[in-house]
Amino acid sequence: MSQDMKQELSYNYVLIRYGELALKGKNRKLFENQLQENIVNQLKDLNVKLKKTHGRLYLYLHDESFETVHARLKHIFGISSYSPAIKTSLELKDIQETALKAIRAHSPFPKTFKVSVKRANKRFPYTSQEMNHKLGAHILIHTDNLKVDVHKPEVELLVEIREDAAYIMSQKFRGAGGLPVGTSGKVMLMMSGGIDSPVAGYLCLKRGLRFEGVHFHSFPFTSERAKQKVVDLAMQLSQYAGPVKLHIVPFTEIQTEIKKHIPDEYSITIMRRLMMRITEALAKKHKALGIATGESVGQVASQTLESMHTINEVTNYPVLRPLVTMDKVEIIDIAQTIGTYDISILPYEDCCTVFQPKNPKTKPDRLTAGQLEERLNVEPLIERAVENTETLRLTREEQKKDTIDHLF
């Protein structure tokens, strides 16, 4: 085909597909409604309109570009794939001409193609197979140097025949998958500011969970920049989660007491047990039903099975550890993909690293931990920490406008 035959094509719709949701039986409607709500919230500042039909969502773009919408849709869990689409009438001639335009506009122009028609509208006069032939023949007649390859085509032209219109697509983008955020309940995510916990939060979101972040701040032992790093991480995750609440727990008094009364080798174990108690208290206060952490078996002293066993003793809440079987390379790969890695490696230490003992106990036991805790006045310490916790609500729109300025 000559260059002058190429045509600019303006997509006016995005067709959104969802996979796992279709298996939810009687609960399917709840999942679909949540996905619809999440998409509307993520695109609320754009001039678009979302419509739900059986098994599909159609997004009318008005004057918005597909690229703008694409940058948001790829972060929304529950979407299996989506395609920019052109809506046309159910007249055969209109469908044929639009299909031809879609192929001509494809860049680079392909050498091979196939047509795949889905006929949801059973009153349409031609079967799916008949439409494959009619559209394929029309395209071949009006183009040069183009062949049909039904096995490995360079372009698969997708056509959906619906009740009121036909939708024609030549591209298909993979979605984030998983379940819509908000369909699986809420957990409190313990966020240190390192590489692991944001990845754990991302994976929780992928299974439909919402999370509220919990960060333990030990000013002046840890700096305001360390706190800001966690705020920035939560902000980055809000691209996937929508607005994120972050609870900043004042932890200086507790760490000072641990330093004063607990042997160095057990200090991390006791610190984690108190963090777990505080997180559970915040979970009760904010109606969450679980706790999530970025722990991975064997990574550091507090992540041995013995440590997890001893730390878990202080809570009856389910503790989710999405990274438990991953190695560091796998975790870093995800962190880089979701945009948290560069923030996490900023050199501002959190309370865990500042108070890291030289020889932490890798196999602590519950009995010893419990006896050592009797040296602390645990309940009042926890109550004061919870009472003085600062809560921030972070969104993508807020960016850094009211953080960097007032901190530095």
Q: Is 294 a known ligand-binding residue?
A: yes
- Give the Cα separation of 177 and 256 in Å (integer): 44
Q: Is 303 a known ligand-binding residue?
A: yes
Phi, psi angle pair for 398, to nearest 5°: -70, -30
Q: Which pair of structure tokens corresponds to residue 17?
A: 């597909």
Q: Is 190 a known ligand-binding residue?
A: yes
Cβ atoms 235, 396 nearer than 8 A: yes
| Local structure of residue 249 (DSSP, 8 states) | E
Cβ atoms 160, 166 nearer than 8 A: yes
Q: Is 205 helix (H, G, I), strand (E, B) or coil?
A: helix
Q: Which of 272, 274, 296 has the alpha carbon at shortest distance from 196?
A: 296
Q: Which pair of structure tokens corresponds to residue 58?
A: 């159609």
Cβ atoms 120, 127 nearer than 8 A: no
- List, as one string, the DSSP characters of 208-242: T-EEEEEEEE-TTTS-HHHHHHHHHHHHHHHHHHS
Cβ atoms 196, 295 nearer than 8 A: yes
Give the torsion sign (CA, 15, 16, 21, 26).
negative
Q: Which of 15, 12, 18 has the alpha carbon at shortest distance from 63?
A: 12
Q: Is 339 a known ligand-binding residue?
A: no
- The DSSP bridge partners found for residue 393 are 245
- Give the Cα separation of 99 and 138 in Å (integer): 9
Q: Is 162 a known ligand-binding residue?
A: no
Q: Which secondary structure element, helix H or strand E, spans residue 29, and what is its range?
A: helix 28-42
Pick out the residues of the known binding site for ATP. Answer: 190-191, 215-216, 272, 294, 303
Pick out the residues of the known binding site. Answer: 190-191, 215-216, 272, 294, 303
